[in-house]
Amino acid sequence: MTEADDRLNEILAFADDPGTAAGVPGGAPDIEPNSVPEIVPDTLRRWLGRRPDGVTFFRGFLKIYGVPGQSVIDVEQWNEAECWKFAWPGDLDRYWCFAGTAMGEQFAVENPSRGGTAASPVYSLDPLTMAPSVFAESLEDFFALIGQGPEAFVYEDVTWDLVDRHGSFGLADGVVAVPPRILQRQVDANSFMTMPYKTVMILNGDCFSEASKCPVGTQIAGITTYTDEHGRERIRFRIWTS
């Protein structure tokens, strides 16, 4: 076993489902490296080869996505525009998302198909705006942070209140504030409800898109829900009119 394997095993020991089979620290068996999508950076390829079904940490708050045909969140499909990125303004295709939090924060590297290299830092994409900021200098540093505990990923006390209220989150579970956080200053565990993770990403994108279109001083009366032509749950703002 290599030093890299040892580091991976140490990190996976923190997983919500670390597995018990000798040599297989996860719920699914290792898969051949060529089963991982070609776009996957090399550092992540070893990880996905070990956990093709995806994995969660910190009672489901942090999610590492899996590979096609093996996981409820397929990292390849997750990065297609029509999955959830379509709901957000701006060019999110610049970022290749491989992990996220239940609230919708995404962790990404520069998209290899858009010129991203192995030297790419890991970016945090804000859950309410998708504004990028450098989170870790490399994928290796990102995974090392997992092994240090939840502090780097959990910013709000309400997170643990949410887990206590709703239970641990599955890989495909997310949480969203109702009404949206953009319309309320204070939130607690009662302000959130669980939804499919993809729906959370779409609704957060709708909120940001709607807010971006409102002139300064606009009074928002509330939100209207609707189903779009593709059967996706969407929202739009209702505006006060004089």
CA distances (Å), origin 29, targets 23, 78, 141: 9, 22, 25
Answer yes or no: is 166 within a domain: no
Burial class (CB in 10 A: 0-12, 13-18, 19+), 180: buried
Task: Specify the pairing of strand 220-227 against strand 192-196.
Answer: unpaired
Q: How many domains does the structure of the chain reveal?
A: 2
Q: What does pLDDT average to over the chain?
A: 85
Answer yes or no: is 70 within a domain: yes
Higher-pLDDT residue of 78, 158: 78
Answer yes or no: is 106 within a domain: yes
Q: Give the pLDDT confidence score for residue 30 in this predicted structure.
A: 52
Note the pLDDT tens digit of each residue in 209-230.
Answer: 998 888 887 888 888 889 999 9
Considering the domain architecture, whether residues 139 and 202 belong to the same structural domain is answered as no
Task: Specify the pairing of strand 233-239 against strand 220-227.
Answer: antiparallel
CATH number at residue 117: 3.40.1580
Considering the domain architecture, whether residues 7 and 66 belong to the same structural domain is answered as yes
Answer yes or no: is 163 within a domain: no
Q: Dig out the tokens for 46 from the structure.
A: 């070893």
Region 42-54 average pLDDT: 83
Q: Smallest Cα–Cα separation from 197: which of 101, 68, 57, 108?
A: 101
236: phi then psi, degrees, rounded to nearest 5: -140, 160
Answer yes or no: is 158 within a domain: no
Q: Give the pLDDT confidence score for residue 181 in this predicted structure.
A: 80
String of DSSP letters for 199-230: HHHHHHHHHHHHHHHSPTTPPEEEEEEEE-TT
Considering the domain architecture, whether residues 137 and 210 belong to the same structural domain is answered as no
String of DSSP letters for 86-128: GGSSS-GGGEEEEEEETT--EEEEE-GGGT--TTPPEEEE-TT
Note the pLDDT tens digit of each residue in 111-135.
Answer: 888 887 778 899 999 999 999 999 9
Considering the domain architecture, whether residues 146 and 177 belong to the same structural domain is answered as no
Considering the domain architecture, whether residues 85 and 41 belong to the same structural domain is answered as yes
Considering the domain architecture, whether residues 142 and 22 belong to the same structural domain is answered as yes
C-alpha span between 207 and 108 (Å, rounded): 22
Considering the domain architecture, whether residues 66 and 177 belong to the same structural domain is answered as no
pTM: 0.88
Q: How many residues does the chain have?
A: 242
Answer yes or no: is 190 within a domain: yes
pLDDT bracket for residue 36 (50, 70, 90): low
Considering the domain architecture, whether residues 10 and 62 belong to the same structural domain is answered as yes
Q: Under 8 Å CB-to-CB from 120, ≥6 apart: which residues? A: 41, 109, 110, 138
Judge contact between 106 and 99, C-beta under 8 A: yes
Judge contact between 51 and 64, C-beta under 8 A: yes
Which domain range does residue 108 map to?
3-152
Asked whether residue 64 carries a pLDDT value surpassing 80, the answer given is yes
Considering the domain architecture, whether residues 186 and 144 belong to the same structural domain is answered as no
Q: Among the three residues 119, 152, 185, which one is the final residue of a domain in this structure?
A: 152
Q: Dig out the tokens for 87 from the structure.
A: 């709901």
Considering the domain architecture, whether residues 7 and 64 belong to the same structural domain is answered as yes
CA distances (Å), origin 111, targets 29, 76, 99, 117, 206: 28, 12, 14, 8, 23
Considering the domain architecture, whether residues 43 and 12 belong to the same structural domain is answered as yes
